[in-house]
């Protein structure tokens, strides 16, 4: 199962999410997007999900703590306990034996990040 984890600011645009996703490898072969539960209703995210006809998986914020990510943001680590929201969300949602196939990519305006993981699913 191939999952794109997304991290973003509340005021993110669908264009920024799309840009980060493309920079991470694009939507081909994705089964779903994964985001922190608190951001599941973000309008730009919902628009992106409709555009690519993909479901969005909510990942509880407390499950991020301790997830080993290959990129690190001190701000994100202090808030979530993992170095990258996008990488951690992708790994958690991809299931058993998940591994990153794309490191965190950042939109030019720095409001969105994306990373892709593959795993055995739930």
Tens-digit pLDDT profile for residues 5-16: 999 998 999 999
| Interval 74-114: pLDDT, tens | 776 666 767 688 999 999 999 999 999 998 999 999 999 99
- Residue 21: closest CA among 112, 110, 87: 112
**pTM listed for this prediction:** 0.91
Cβ atoms of 121 and 41 closer than 8 Å? no
DSSP state of 120: -
pLDDT for the residue numbered 122: 66
Task: Tell me the per-residue pLDDT of 35-75, one tens digit each, with 9 for 90 and over.
Answer: 999 999 999 999 999 999 999 999 998 888 887 787 777 77
**Number of folded domains in the chain?**
1
pLDDT at res. 73: 77
Residues of the domain holding 43:
2-118
How many of the other CB atoms lie within 10 Å of CB of 105?
A: 19
Query: What is the per-residue pLDDT for 68?
Result: 75
Q: Kindly report the CATH number assigned to the domain that includes residue 76.
A: 3.30.420.180
Which pair of structure tokens corresponds to residue 102? Answer: 């794309």
The pLDDT of residue 42 is: 96
Question: Are residues 23 and 114 in contact, defined by beta-carbon separation less than 8 angstroms?
Answer: yes
Q: What is the per-residue pLDDT for 30? A: 97
CA distance 33 to 71: 19
Q: Is the separation of the CB atoms in 106 and 112 below 8 Å?
A: yes
pLDDT at 52: 97
Burial class (CB in 10 A: 0-12, 13-18, 19+), 81: middle
- How far apart (Å, rounded) are the C-alpha atoms in residues 120 and 110? 31
């Amino acid at each position: 199962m191939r999952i794109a984890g997304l991290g973003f600011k509340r005021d993110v645009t669908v264009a920024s999410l799309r840009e980060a996703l493309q920079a991470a490898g694009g939507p081909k072969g994705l089964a779903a997007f994964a985001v922190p539960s608190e951001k599941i209703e973000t309008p730009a995210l919902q628009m992106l999900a409709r555009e690519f006809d993909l479901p969005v998986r909510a990942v509880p914020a407390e499950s991020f703590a301790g997830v080993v990510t290959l990129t690190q943001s001190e701000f994100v680590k202090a808030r979530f306990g993992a170095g990258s929201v996008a990488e951690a969300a992708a790994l958690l949602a991809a299931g058993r034996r998940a591994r990153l196939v794309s490191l965190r990519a950042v939109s030019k305006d720095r409001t969105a990040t994306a990373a892709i993981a593959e795993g055995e699913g739930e």
